[in-house]
Amino acid sequence: TRDYWHFIDFKKTDSRKDADKEKNLRVSGTVQYNSGHSLVDAALKGLGIVQLPDYYVQKYLASGELVSLLDNYREPEESIWAVYPHNRHLSPKIRLLVDYLAERLA
């Protein structure tokens, strides 16, 4: 649901310290979703281009169903955060989930 895309212009390296300029570009269109899966579906149907983390589009890029654009302007990594209050005891289910995510996504 963001109305901007984030870009970084790199000087032929994949290092953030070598970034020429960071820029947020305002985007608009006739379709807007708040779901990555819906955005992938729209791109697969040819409704436009999307800016999404790799985990949404990796298999479609590998199969050739989608094509990556503007690779020289994308951030090298997209982070995923598990946010929870540090001053509370986590339930065993939440602790298990956080540990699982940390192990699998490391």
Contacts of 45 (CB under 8 A, 6+ apart): none
51 phi/psi in degrees, rounded to 5:
-120, 110
Q: How confident is the model at residue 46 (pLDDT cuts 50, 70, 90)?
A: very high
Task: Quickly state the pLDDT bin for 13 (edges 50, 70, 90).
Answer: low
Q: pLDDT at residue 22 above 70?
A: yes
Residue 57's Cβ-side half-sphere holds a number of Cα atoms within 13 Å equal to 22
Residues with Cβ within 8 Å of residue 11, at least 6 apart in sequence: 18, 19, 20
**pLDDT for position 44:** 97
Query: Coil, helix or strand for 78?
Result: coil
Mean pLDDT, the chain, integer: 82
> Rounded CA gap, 81 and 53, in Å?
13
pTM: 0.61
Residue entry with tokens 């032929």: 12
- pLDDT tens-digit map of 68-95: 998 887 776 666 777 777 777 878 898 8
Classify 64 in phi/psi space as left (phi over 0), alpha (psi -120 to 50) or beta: left
Alpha-carbon span 59 to 39, nearest angstrom: 15
